[in-house]
Amino acid sequence: MFSACALLHTGCAGLGDPAVIVSSSAVADYTARKFQDGRPVRETYVFMPGRYYPGATVDRSLERMSFRQLAEPLAQELARKQYFPAPDLKSADLLIVVHWGVTDPRISSSEMRGQVTYHFDASMSDAGVDRPPSETDAMFASNLPEGHDALTLYPDLPNDAVRAMEFEETERLTDQLGGDMANANAILLLGYSRQLRQLSELPFITTAELALRSDLKNERYFIVLRAYDLRHRTGRRPRVLWTLHLNMRSAGVNFREAMASMGDVAVHYVGRNVDQVETALPKLKQGTVTIGEVKIIGEAK
């Protein structure tokens, strides 16, 4: 069992925060077929390890976690929705690729120095998210003489001062680019692209968007499950049937504890499409589920 603390992720950050953030998507015809009459249909699968993201902080609980130690608890949760391990790839209905690790937020040097710089966040564009320029941006740009940038408005400054300003601006842009790339990667790993794209269409920034952006600045454990259809191929590559992103704040917990929380929440979303990023509180339980041997094949390239 679990409880949803909010339909939208509005953030409840704190040390040892138990909340699990969920982003789930699925093909409509698959969901209809899987949950006929409200009951899940039995399917078989094999696991494949995807990419492991170690992050920038030394984390022994994550480093010492083998893929099998990750896969076996996930298999127990999947069995609750009638997903069972297949003896081999040929007899499996699904191939489930698992990516896991911790995000690597990048704090800019200007932030560390306490400087505040307002700029367009290119990471949102890289992840398919864009927001129209504000009226203030347009007014500032319209006041610049044609063919000039901000630095050329000060022609009387000494050369050393100009060079210092140019160096600082170059440093800021380089710093910004690195941060934008890190943010774009986190957006994709956490599954926030669709939600941020929707929120960016609003004329104002909501608390939901602020919460999602805040997550990008914190280290967060995550697991991504992506299921491929091995039975109904229409081309050379199998079709993706569903994708599930789970994440939670890493501060105050170890990866094994986080994995248990994310696994408990996963069972309520697997194979289903949810329009918005949701926040769920796991209700951890005691008990066991007997399943067959978990089959793991190769590695995703």
pLDDT at 259: 95
Question: Does the global pTM surpass 0.85?
Answer: no
Confidence category of residue 5, pLDDT binned at 50, 70, 90: very low
pLDDT digits (tens, 9 = 90+) for 233-264: 777 789 999 999 999 999 989 999 999 999 99
The one-letter amino acid code at 179 reads G
| Nearest C-alpha neighbor of 222 from the set 184, 266, 190 | 190
Residue positions counted in the chain: 301
pLDDT digits (tens, 9 = 90+) for 194-206: 999 999 899 999 9
- Asked whether the beta carbons of 13 and 214 are under 8 A apart, the reply is yes
The CATH 3.30.160 domain(s) of the chain lie at 2-103+218-282
| Nearest C-alpha neighbor of 61 from the set 217, 190, 189, 252 | 252
| Nearest C-alpha neighbor of 229 from the set 215, 244, 240, 213 | 240
Report the distance separating Cα 191 and Cα 224, nearest Å: 9
Report the distance separating Cα 260 and Cα 267, nearest Å: 12
Q: What's the chain's Rg over C-alpha atoms?
A: 23
* Strand, helix or coil for residue 124: helix
| Nearest C-alpha neighbor of 22 from the set 222, 253, 210, 240 | 222
| Nearest C-alpha neighbor of 54 from the set 250, 191, 217, 211 | 250
- Asked whether the beta carbons of 288 and 76 are under 8 A apart, the reply is yes
- Residue 296, CA distances (Å) to 47, 88, 112, 182, 264 in order: 5, 9, 43, 30, 21
* Strand, helix or coil for residue 6: strand
* Assigned token pair, 56: 């920038």
The distance of Cα 140 from the centroid of its chain, to the nearest Å, equals 35
Spatial CB neighbours of 203, under 8 Å, sequence gap ≥ 6: none
Tell me the HSE value of 214 on the side-chain side, using a 13 A CA sphere: 16
pLDDT digits (tens, 9 = 90+) for 282-297: 886 555 556 667 767 7
Report the distance separating Cα 24 and Cα 69, nearest Å: 23
- In CATH, what number does 2-103+218-282 get? 3.30.160
pLDDT digits (tens, 9 = 90+) for 59-112: 999 999 999 999 999 999 999 999 999 999 999 999 999 999 999 987 655 554
